[in-house]
Structure 1
């Protein structure tokens, strides 16, 4: 079970910040403490979010940020991810019907909440686009172009890697919901994978993936989002806790592919 420090017992320490430059790009990751029960950060979350409850562990300062020298970029953070959680309805009830009712009957996490909401904290967050100055442009358009998986499989040295946790919840011992984002930089490209892994015991497993890929020398990134889901009864038990292994048993329920074009920085911009 995840260990959650009591309010007021969180020891503040300097955040762990890493930076790496890849051509015209600057990568920044930050890892810090969990969200406290009071204070300015908590007020910010309460003011922006309509959720009656937050995940047990939220990391308000944790972020992965990738910014082009033009000022355009993308970042991944917990606040914007949670802003897309359904705060007014419980879609798991619709998706799982009778199985959901039985599995949820003894869940104190839900009994204590009057207003219905997505207690699995499922989000279709794909990242937050950045525009650091008036010359920064990031144009988003649908595309049929796909990420070059063969390029990712090549044996290249990894110049930079990090794994940043955004939030986690054990659904009152009824499963788990965890969202993290990883970045990997090789000589020819960089690759980002943000994953929401949600398991409701005896009901369903869901994986939402956002992949961002950029090849060196190009003036755009590719962003792919996919959502997969399946009842746990149709998945071998041994795979239930392994996001990589379980993915092959899940049905695709949603997918999008986008091209993110950015403006090159010029002397007369």
Structure 2
């Protein structure tokens, strides 16, 4: 009744779109639902055990402000029969956002802070990364052995035509930076008869200022005992991207190859030896 009076609907009571599929020794499942409500549905949550999702996010993250659109029930999970797996969710992605410092200070950041201050919450103008830049690479489940590697994902093999058994694209969070650009974190999963491929992407465009793409690619061939994980961060000032139509700057797939590489990490996620003995 309280939530109805406040005009807020508890997202946990809304319908959730979900699917679950089995491919070889892997279970792939996802769920998808509405954006996070903007006000506490309990007015406010006083019981830690029964907090609404908004209060959970605010207490867990301690960010002065959340992105315009957060999808707390958008979750993708790929899990092996041995218990090892990877999950992608908005809360863990936002945990990787810097709190206490600004990664970028431009004119629109002041405009952004002023718009938040109008709501009367002085805490919302504390310095923090208002672009919500995250280097989230997914949440590991089970007992993966993680090592650096010189192996690389075979992109040419991925480009070969192969039947798509499963595909899904989930947005974890998005913010329009007070109409000065966009920051969006999303995950795409593609399963083929021989393998699966995941692209987790954070894309930032601050109009007339800069562009950034943080990509995590994960590739697994069925029957092997490891996943290859590649993290790359690319960024450039808008003035450095010359002779490019403005429409290209709005398309992550088109602009990302134009951005110089500034950071990279390459890992092999291996199953524990006891879990790998039965893999041929």
Bin for the TM-score computed over the shorter chain: 0.7 to 0.9
Corresponding residue for 1:255? 264
Corresponding residue for 2:60? 48
Moved more, 199-208 or 109-118: 109-118
Alpha-carbon distance change, 53 to 230 in structure 1, aligned in 2, over 3 angstroms: same
Moved more, 139-148 or 37-46: 37-46
2:211 aligned to which of 188, 205, 209: 205
Matched, 1:79 2:78: no
Matched, 1:38 2:40: yes
Question: Aligned equivalents of 1:185 and 1:238: distance in 2?
Answer: 30
Alpha-carbon distance change, 7 to 79 in structure 1, aligned in 2, over 3 angstroms: farther
Q: Report the 3-state secondary structure (helix = DSSP H, G, I; strand = E; otherwise coil) of the residue aligned with 1:92.
A: coil
After superposition, the CA RMSD in angstroms is 1.9
Matched, 1:193 2:205: no
Corresponding residue for 2:30? 29
Corresponding residue for 1:172? 178
Corresponding residue for 1:106? 111
Question: Aligned equivalents of 1:110 and 1:13: distance in 2?
Answer: 28
1:104 Cα deviation (Å)? 3.7
1:165 Cα deviation (Å)? 0.8
| Larger RCO (alpha carbons 8 Å, 6+ apart) | 1
**4+ runs of 1 displaced by more than 6 Å?**
none
1:130 Cα deviation (Å)? 0.9
1:9 Cα deviation (Å)? 5.4
Unmatched 5+ stretches in structure 2? 1-5, 42-51, 119-123
Higher helix share: 2
Count of matched residue pairs: 250
Unmatched 5+ stretches in structure 1? 1-5, 94-99, 132-136
Deviations 1:170-190 (A, max 9, x none): 011111011110000001110
Corresponding residue for 1:3? none
1:106 Cα deviation (Å)? 3.3
Residues 103, 202 of structure 1: 8 Å contact kept: no
Under a length normalisation based on structure 1, what TM-score does the superposition of the two structures give? Answer: 0.87
1:7 Cα deviation (Å)? 5.4
